[in-house]
Amino acid sequence: MVFGIILFLAYSIAFLNIDLGRLPGAFGRLASFIANRYYPPDLDYVMEGGYLLSVLDTLRMSFLGGVFGVMIAIPLAWFGAFNVTPSRILLYPFGRFSIMSCRAIHETIWTILFVSILGFGMLAGVLALTVFCIGFAGKLFADEIEAIDKGPVEAIRATGANALQVFVFAVFPQVRVAFTGIAIYTWDVAFRAATVVGFFGGGGMGWYLKRNIQQLETERVGAIILSIIVLVLIAEGLSGQVRKRVARAKYGAVDQSAKARLIRRFCLPLFSILVTMTLPISPVR
């Protein structure tokens, strides 16, 4: 069977007309390309108001996509979890199928579809990110629900509760902390997707990327890619810290107040920074 796979891969290389001679030089060419054309990056371009506003828009789009996606994903995950779904014949396939179809189509294709229906702009972007988050978070939520302890579920069921009450009182308290961690991770992944949603018309930083690539302004492209990398690294660091604190809060002695305090400590300065960024820039728009 391994031999069959190797045979298939060799056939693929021939089928795709891949010139293997180009492969060894590819990274050398990429490195010289980056050194000659993308360096020095045009940092003044990414520091001006229009671009920074699009960064803010990207952040807001990813936040909205995350919030709405997670909100819709929770009931869908409940339907799609085999152990606690209210109806195994009807709602379980519906839940699983919805989550799978949201996940199956790449976020850029969702963006193109929404843009062609709703026009360019952030509405299409936010909807595309929402659908992406439903797929991403829904699968993680459903797997998490399927891994819970059966005890409380059976106990609540024994008192005669209906399916919704079982979910609220037996399932949700067990998965609440894990859901918070998954939600933060989903926002992190949504931000990475949001950076290129604009490339296809969904608003945000990606539009600047597309425009500068088409105008062959490679130094600005280098600066934009650099800014994407920096922002994603910051977002990942932030989300990692909050997730670690949330997980520690579950197992530590002091929980809710520490978690809320920490989120406020991060969000309040971030919020004020974002607001001050908007105010002087709004007249430009």
Partner 1 sequence: MSAVAAVGTESGPGAAGADRVIQGKRTGRLKGLAVIGFMLAVVAWSIDGTIIADTDWSRIGGPKGVFSSLGRFLQLDLGVLPHLIVPMIETFMIACLGTLLGCLFSLPVAWLGAANVTPSRLVAYPIGRFLMVLSRSVHEIVWALLFVSAVGLGALPGILAVAMRSVGFISKITAEAIENIDKKPVEAIRAVGGNEFQVMYYGIVPQILPVVLGVVIFEWDINIRRSAVMGLVGAGGLGLLFFRQMNMFNYGGVTMVVLAILVLILIGETVSHFARKAVT
Which of 50, 119, 151, 269 lies at the binding interface for partner 1 (CB under 8 A)? 119
Contact present, 204 and 52 (Cβ < 8 Å): no
What spatial distance separates the first Cα and last Cα of the chain, rounded to whole Å? 60
- For residue 135, what are its two tokens? 């797929």
Please list every residue from 47 through 76 that binds partner 1, using CB under 8 A: 56-57, 60-61, 63-64, 67
Q: Note whether 178 binds partner 1 by CB under 8 A.
A: no
Smallest distance from partner 1 to CB 140, Å:
13
Residue 220, helix vs strand vs coil: helix
**Residue closer to partner 1, measured from CB, 87 or 240:** 240
69: which residues sit within 8 A by CB, 6+ positions away?
129, 130, 131, 132, 133, 134, 136, 137, 186, 190
- For residue 157, what are its two tokens? 């069921």
Q: Note whether 243 binds partner 1 by CB under 8 A.
A: no
Q: Note whether 106 binds partner 1 by CB under 8 A.
A: yes
Planar angle of CA 252, 258, 263, nearest 5 degrees:
130
Which of 52, 105, 163, 277 lies at the binding interface for partner 1 (CB under 8 A)? 105
Contact present, 278 and 56 (Cβ < 8 Å): yes
Cis peptide leading into 40, omega within 30 of 0? yes
Q: Which stretch binds partner 1 (CB under 8 A): 74-82, 87-95, 152-160, 227-235?
A: 227-235
Q: Note whether 184 binds partner 1 by CB under 8 A.
A: no
Q: Which residues bind partner 1 (CB under 8 A)?
A: 8-9, 12-13, 15-19, 22-23, 26, 29-30, 33-34, 56-57, 60-61, 63-64, 67, 100-101, 104-106, 108-109, 112-113, 116-119, 121-123, 125-126, 192-193, 195-196, 199-200, 203, 209, 213, 225, 228-229, 232-233, 236, 253-257, 260-261, 263-264, 267, 271, 278
